[in-house]
A and B are shown apart, each in its own frame.
Chain A
């Protein structure tokens, strides 16, 4: 099957717990080779959805179709489960050696010893942990344990990988190195991946598509850019729309800052990033200043773009002003500023923000173009 065809289809899926509807997904389609993230607050139903799609929970209604075949809902689902893998927030390693842990899925499938040896070593190598081979799984660090859990998941060559908040209990440096490696491995293997996370930055960095969930429903699903910049409703906006998120490519770098091309405009951001690499820029609305004429005084802000006010939304104490500078930008202003600058839809303004106000996220080479 080629990339871009659907691997998993969901129809009228419902899951109940003690009679209460906790998951309600009328339709969902997952494309071969994509990384789809489910984001949302705690209790949104992300984990339940992953567990349901992995055939680990009973359905109240609906069906899940994997490569054209309906998945058995009960214990017979193990035939399907042999074609997928799942990693949880806790590594959930077995009380044995690292080798045996990575081998466990293969032993369950009754593989031959030489084959198990080969695959285990290959996957330990892949996650940079061959030195842990004979160590007890209980005597390794949290980051190492999660690497072992991932190696165990990859060892069985899954057609779909389910990641249920796999990075939630890691400290930032450990998280960063694991994310970098996982990105590379996913790129190499092209494994279809479904991830649940409450961290927007993680989702932004790894995903081709994002689905925002709440109360057991999917509120919006679409490309990362689309969901981040065009939330369909207040709920999605409150979860993802806190920042302007722009996509661009690094065109040059010099003395601690980089120039990034966004929709043909050049934005300067603090930090040096690989030339030609795809990045996402996140700018918080409180860091964007609006002016009606170019700043006369010298300013330390490196970025200033003329644009037009598109829409103004009241948020109680202040206003959310959406500006089109050739790319969308959101600014927060007070009622005073709104009056002083006489801001209204269609007004010409200049948006100003500092290079240090931009949070740059490296983007996975994605297959969006193919979708």
Chain B
């Protein structure tokens, strides 16, 4: 019992004194996962919308692939990103293995299918005649796609939440491609794993609390936007 209470006490001490190491790890986590989510939004929304609107042979197969991708195990992503970035791997020339860039890449690979799948579902859930209505208002194809995406903005926000939530809490791929190097590629989750294995429960709890708070606040903001804009 003492262990837990002392851990929590120490954790809040670290938080309120803005311990530089804890803050550094938090900031890096936000940067990496934020960038990865941004990349996944660009790729996920554009491809998701295209697949939702296009008619081509094998479309069902592509949709099933995207839906499967929404549940990609992070360690598998970590494994393949590591292989690709390995010295003599296909992308080895980039020399970014064990850097934050590699972590962004891995996290983007995890988040993209999530955003893509939710975008696909959101665009398909719009009324069938809405596309025709927008075209009949004189829209060019690009204008039409843009208006459709705006119409689907609420479910798309859910996609942002799911994507960011997935990568900020992910540990397997980050540790594999980032290497958990102190002050360089150490993020909240990888640090929590390490401190726990070392028995430094106070720091681990502090990191865990930050992770929970981050997840909570980001979802709070998004939920607020969603609730405010929701009709009725």
- Measured between alpha carbons, how far is A328 from B143 in the docked complex, in Å? 54
For window 206-221 of chain B, which residues contact chain A by CB distance below 8 Å?
none
A105 touching B137, Cβ below 8 Å = yes
A: interface residue count bin: 20 to 34
B140 touching A78, Cβ below 8 Å = yes
Closest Cβ of chain A: how far from B150's Cβ, in Å?
8
**Cβ of A332 under 8 Å from chain B:** no
Residue ID in chain B nearest A94 by CB atoms? B151
For window 105-142 of chain A, which residues contact chain B by CB distance below 8 Å?
105, 108-109, 136-139
B151 touching A95, Cβ below 8 Å = yes
**Cβ of B147 under 8 Å from chain A:** yes
Contacts of A139 in B (CB 8 A): 231-232
Picked from A56, A75, A92, A105, the residue with its CB within 8 Å of the CB of B127 is A92
Picked from B129, B138, B150, B154, the residue with its CB within 8 Å of the CB of A108 is B138
Contacts of B135 in A (CB 8 A): 56, 78, 81
Which of A90, A108, A109 counts the most chain B CB atoms within 10 A?
A108
Contacts of A162 in B (CB 8 A): 136
A88 touching B137, Cβ below 8 Å = no
Picked from A81, A94, A95, A136, the residue with its CB within 8 Å of the CB of B136 is A81
A56 touching B138, Cβ below 8 Å = no
- Measured between alpha carbons, how far is A332 from B149 in the docked complex, in Å? 58
Contacts of B232 in A (CB 8 A): 138-139
Closest Cβ of chain B: how far from A356's Cβ, in Å?
41
Residue ID in chain B nearest A136 by CB atoms? B231
Give a binary string over B74-106; 1 marks a CB under 8 Å from any A CB, 0 the rest.
000000000000000000000000000000000
B151 touching A56, Cβ below 8 Å = no
Closest Cβ of chain B: how far from A327's Cβ, in Å?
41
Give a binary string over A89-108; 1 marks a CB under 8 Å from any B CB, 0 the rest.
01010110000000011001
A86 touching B133, Cβ below 8 Å = yes
- Measured between alpha carbons, how far is A203 from B148 in the docked complex, in Å? 33
**Cβ of A284 under 8 Å from chain B:** no
A90 touching B129, Cβ below 8 Å = yes
For window 70-94 of chain A, which residues contact chain B by CB distance below 8 Å?
75, 78, 81-82, 84-86, 88, 90, 92, 94
Contacts of A261 in B (CB 8 A): none
Main secondary structure of the interface of B (DSSP, over half): helix
Contacts of B150 in A (CB 8 A): 94
Main secondary structure of the interface of A (DSSP, over half): mixed
Closest Cβ of chain B: how far from A72's Cβ, in Å?
13
Contacts of B132 in A (CB 8 A): 51, 56, 86, 88
Closest Cβ of chain B: how far from A194's Cβ, in Å?
12
Closest Cβ of chain A: how far from B166's Cβ, in Å?
26
**Cβ of A156 under 8 Å from chain B:** yes
- Measured between alpha carbons, how far is A136 from B133 in the docked complex, in Å? 19
Closest Cβ of chain B: how far from A76's Cβ, in Å?
10
- Measured between alpha carbons, how far is A108 from B147 in the docked complex, in Å? 10
- Measured between alpha carbons, how far is A51 from B131 in the docked complex, in Å? 12
Q: Known contacts A51-B132, A86-B133, A138-B231; decide if A81 and B138 are in contact (CB<8 Å).
A: yes
B137 touching A85, Cβ below 8 Å = yes
- Measured between alpha carbons, how far is A330 from B51 in the docked complex, in Å? 57
A85 touching B140, Cβ below 8 Å = no
**Cβ of B139 under 8 Å from chain A:** yes
For window 96-145 of chain B, which residues contact chain A by CB distance below 8 Å?
127, 129-130, 132-133, 135-141, 143
Closest Cβ of chain B: how far from A109's Cβ, in Å?
6
Interface set of A (CB-CB < 8 Å, partner B): 51, 54, 56, 75, 78, 81-82, 84-86, 88, 90, 92, 94-95, 104-105, 108-109, 136-139, 152, 156, 162
Would you list the 10 A-B pairs with minimal beta carbon distance, nearest first?
Answer: A138-B231, A86-B136, A82-B138, A105-B137, A92-B133, A56-B132, A108-B139, A108-B138, A88-B129, A81-B138
